[in-house]
Amino acid sequence: FLLQVKDLFSSLGVGCNVLELDQVDDGAGVQEVLSEITNQKTVPNIFVNKVHVGGCDRTFQAHQSGLLQKLLKENSAYEYDLIVIGGGSGGLACAKEAAILGKKVMVLDFVVPSPQGTSWGLGGTCVNVGCIPKKLMHQAALLGQALHDSRKFGWEYNQQVKHNWETMVDAIQNHISSLNWGYRLSLREKAVTYLNAYGEFVEHHKIKATNRKGQETCHTAAKFVIATGERPRYLGIQGDKEYCITSDDLFSLRYCPGKTLVVGASYVALECAGFLAGLGLDVTVMVRSIILRGFDQEMAEKLSSYMEQQHGVKFLRKFVPVMVQQLEKGSPGKLKVVAKSTEGPETIDGIYNTVLLAIGRDSCTRKIGLEKIGVKINEKNGKIPVNDVEQTNVSYVYAIGDILEGKPELTPVAIQAGKLLARRLFGTSSEKCDYINVPTTVFTPLEYGCCGLSEEKAIEVYKKENLEVFHSFFWPLEWTVAGRENNVCYAKIICNKLDHDRVIGFHVLGPNAGEITQGFAVAMKCRLTKRQLDETVGIHPTCGEVFTTLEITKSLGLDITQKGC
Ligand SMILES: Cc1cc2nc3c(=O)[nH]c(=O)nc-3n(C[C@H](O)[C@H](O)[C@H](O)COP(=O)(O)OP(=O)(O)OC[C@H]3O[C@@H](n4cnc5c(N)ncnc54)[C@H](O)[C@@H]3O)c2cc1C
Ligand SMILES: *[C@@H]1O[C@H](CO)[C@@H](O)[C@H](O)[C@H]1NC(C)=O
Given a contact cutoff of 8 angstroms between Cβ atoms, the answer to whether 530 and 493 are in contact is: yes
Give the number of the ligand closest to the Cα of residue 371. Answer: 2
**Atom of ligand 1 at shortest distance to CA of 199?**
42
Is residue 368 lining ligand 1, measured as CB closer than 6 Å?
Answer: yes
User: Between 512 and 564, whose confidence is greater?
Assistant: 512
Asked whether 133 lines ligand 1 (CB < 6 A), one says no
Residues 228-238 have a mean pLDDT of: 98
| Residue 312 in marked binding region | no
Question: CA–CA separation, 82 vs 207, rounded Å?
Answer: 12
How many Å apart are CA 514 and CA 491, to the nearest integer? 13
Report the Cα–Cα distance between both ends of the chain, in Å, rounded: 79
Residue 325 has pLDDT above 60, yes or no: yes
Residue 244 makes CB contacts below 8 A (sequence gap 6+) with 234, 235, 263, 324, 355, 356, 357
Ligand nearest the Cα atom of residue 419:
1
Q: Residue 75: which pLDDT band, with cuts at 50, 70 and 90?
A: low
Helix (H) or strand (E) holding 554: none
CA-wise closest residue to 221 among 98, 109, 101, 121: 98
Q: What are phi and psi for residue 115, nearest 5 degrees?
A: -55, -25
| pLDDT tens digits, one per residue of 265-315 | 999 999 999 999 999 999 999 999 999 999 999 999 999 999 999 999 999
- Confidence category of residue 488, pLDDT binned at 50, 70, 90: very high
Q: Quick check: 565 pLDDT over 50?
A: no
Q: What is the pLDDT of residues 33-66, one digit of tens each?
A: 888 878 888 888 888 867 788 888 888 888 888 7
Helix axes 455-462, 297-309, angle to 10 degrees: 170
241 is in an annotated binding site: no
Tell whether 191 is in a known binding site: no
Give the ranges where 229-368 is alpha helix by DSSP (H). 240-243, 247-250, 267-278, 297-309
Residue with CA nearest ligand 1 atom 8: 131
pLDDT at position 560 is 85
Residue whose CA lies nearest to ligand 2 atom number 6:
374
Tell how far the Cα of 371 is from the centroid of ligand 2, in angstroms.
9
- Report whether 265 belongs to an annotated binding site: yes
Give bridge partners of residue 493 from the DSSP assignment. 470, 506
On whether the CB atoms of residues 281 and 258 are closer than 8 A, the answer is yes
Write out the catalytic residue numbers. Answer: 540
Answer whether 0.85 is exceeded by the pTM.
yes
Ligand 2 lined by 378 (C-beta under 6 Å): no
User: How many angstroms is it from 424 CA to the middle of ligand 2?
Assistant: 23
Q: What is the largest CA-CA distance in the chain?
A: 100
Q: Quickly list H helices, 21-66.
A: 27-38, 56-65
- Which numbered atom of ligand 2 lies nearest the CA of 374? 8
Q: How far is the CA of 233 from the centre of ligand 2 (A)?
A: 27
pLDDT of 442 over the 70 cut = yes
387 lines ligand 2 (CB under 6 A): no
CB 82 within 8 A of CB 425: yes
Does residue 393 have its Cβ closer than 6 Å to ligand 2? yes
* Residue 564 confidence (pLDDT) above 70: no
Reported as half-sphere exposure (CB side, CA atoms, 13 A), residue 195 has a value of: 23
Mean of pLDDT over the chain: 95
d(Cα 84, Cα 225) in Å, to the nearest integer? 5
318 labelled binding-site residue: no
Q: Which of 89, 85, 87 is nearest to 411 (CA)?
A: 89
- Atom 12 (ligand 1) nearest CA: 410
Residue 136 CB–ligand 2 contact under 6 Å = no
Residue 383 has pLDDT above 60, yes or no: yes
Report the separation in Å between the CA atom of 414 and the middle of ligand 1, taken as the mean of its atom positions.
9
Burial 404-423 (b: 16+ CB within 10 A, else e): beebebbbebbbbbbbbbbb
Q: Is 111 touching ligand 1 by the criterion CB < 6 Å?
A: yes
164 touches ligand 2 (CB under 6 Å): no
Question: Where is average pLDDT lowest: 26-40, 244-258, 497-511, 516-530?
Answer: 26-40
Residue nearest to atom 13 of ligand 2 (CA): 394
pLDDT 10s digits, 126-156: 999 999 999 999 999 999 999 999 999 999 9
Distance 302 CA to ligand 1 centre (A): 29
Ligand 1 centroid to 227 CA: how many Å? 9
Has 401 been labeled as part of a binding site? no
Q: Which helix (H) or strand (E) holds 287?
A: strand 283-287
Spatial contact of 365 and 230, defined as CB atoms under 8 Å apart: no
Rounded to an integer, what distance in angstroms lies between the CA atom of residue 179 and that of residue 176? 5
Nearest residue (by CA) to ligand 2, atom 10, is 374
User: What residue type is assigned to position 80 of the chain?
Assistant: Y
pLDDT digits (tens, 9 = 90+) for 519-541: 999 999 999 999 999 999 999 99
Q: Which ligand is nearest to the CA of 204?
A: 2
- Residues 218, 206: contact at Cβ < 8 Å? yes
For residue 462, say whether it is annotated as part of any ligand binding site: no
What letter would DSSP give residue 465?
A: G
Residue to mutate (ligand 1; options 110, 228, 372, 421; most atoms within 8 A of CB): 228
DSSP state letters, 380-407 = TT-PBP--TTSB-SSTTEEE-GGGBTTS
**Statement: residue 69 has pLDDT above 80:** no
Ligand 2 in reach of 376 Cβ (< 6 A): yes
Picking from 82, 79, 90, the residue whose alpha carbon sits closest to that of residue 12 is: 82
Beta bridge partners of 494: 469, 505
Question: What mean pLDDT comes out for the span 319-338?
Answer: 98
Q: Which residues contact 483 (CB under 8 A, 6 or more apart)?
A: 152
The Å distance, Cα 86 to ligand 1 centre, comes to 9
